[in-house]
Amino acid sequence: MDTKIYTIVSNKQLTRSIYEMKLEGDTSMITAPGQFLNIKLEGFYLRRPISICDWNENEITIVYKTVGQGTKHMATLEPGTELDILCSLGNGYDLEKIPANPVLAGGGVGVPPMYGLAKALVAQGKKPVVVLGFNTEHEVFYEEEFKALGADVKVVTADGSYGLKGFVTDGFDSADYACACGPEPMLKAVAAKAKDGQYSFEARMACGFGGCMGCSCETKYGAKRICKEGPVLEQEEIIW
């Protein structure tokens, strides 16, 4: 974990509000899929926490949604722009706990960390079933990328305009083990169909590294900071 300068290699629009940014720089601190970056943006006081989608020896891929002024500003940044980034934050997914045939469920902007996770699991010889949920057809992204990993991929849309109609929970019957990232009601619904699992949470943060207690949540084992002991929590400790 450290603050370092990264250079934007590409910043590509995937859907109306989803962008993929590739950043060149030190990736040696990344220890697990599901960790995140905290990005300093010119003109904004707080950094923007964005999950890591994928990484290699010298490049990090993030996929983000333009929701507020900060992410809208990010979408305008040109390749070559240098960014001050705190990398890498949070615990990420514990791969050792994940069995051979897990269900990975990603909803909307919760899809990106599932990509890095699927890639790591496939590299371990595991066979994840990936369920990607979106509101509608034009919001679908990364289906081909997941397929290219060799994963079994199902796409679900709430309005049925693409793939299966319904929510991510309609994409699998039940799971011995699930990993999920997305809106909290989605995580809860996935957990209700899974015997065990790991779930990635979102929270408004200030620092991103445990200094301010801004993002704390209550768990069965006491308060945890989403940025430090999270963002990934174990199914059995979560208080829904």
CB atoms near residue 21 (< 10 Å): 24
Q: Which residue's CB is nearer to another protein, number 156 or number 205?
A: 205
**CA-angle at 6, arms to 111 and 210, nearest 5°:** 65
If one asks whether residue 190 binds another protein (CB under 8 A), the answer comes out as: no
If one asks whether residue 218 binds another protein (CB under 8 A), the answer comes out as: yes
If one asks whether residue 185 binds another protein (CB under 8 A), the answer comes out as: no
If one asks whether residue 9 binds another protein (CB under 8 A), the answer comes out as: no
Whole-number Å distance between alpha carbons of 63 and 113: 9
Q: Which residue's CB is nearer to another protein, number 45 or number 144?
A: 45
If one asks whether residue 21 binds another protein (CB under 8 A), the answer comes out as: no
Strand positions, DSSP E, the chain: 2-13, 18-24, 36-39, 48-55, 59-65, 82-89, 103-107, 129-134, 152-157, 164-165, 175-181, 194-200, 216-219, 222-225, 232-234
Whole-number Å distance between alpha carbons of 47 and 91: 19
Q: Which of 9, 10, 17, 40 binds another protein (CB under 8 A)?
A: 40
Q: How far is the CB of 87 from another protein (least distance, A)?
A: 12
Instruction: Provide the 8-state DSSP code for 79.
Output: T
If one asks whether residue 63 binds another protein (CB under 8 A), the answer comes out as: no
Residue 226's nearest CA partner among 39, 73, 35, 47 is 35
Among left, alpha and beta (phi > 0; psi -120 to 50; other), residue 18 is beta
If one asks whether residue 207 binds another protein (CB under 8 A), the answer comes out as: yes
Q: Which of 60, 87, 131, 205 binds another protein (CB under 8 A)?
A: 205
If one asks whether residue 65 binds another protein (CB under 8 A), the answer comes out as: no
If one asks whether residue 203 binds another protein (CB under 8 A), the answer comes out as: yes
Look at residue 76 and give its three-state secondary structure.
coil
Helix (H) or strand (E) holding 188: helix 184-192
Within residues 84-143, the interface with another protein by CB under 8 A covers 86
Residues near another protein (CB under 8 A), total: 27
Range in contact with another protein (rule: CB under 8 A) among 151-159, 163-171, 201-209, 232-240:
201-209
Q: Which residues bind another protein (CB under 8 A)?
A: 1-3, 40, 44-47, 70, 86, 203-207, 209-218, 223, 228
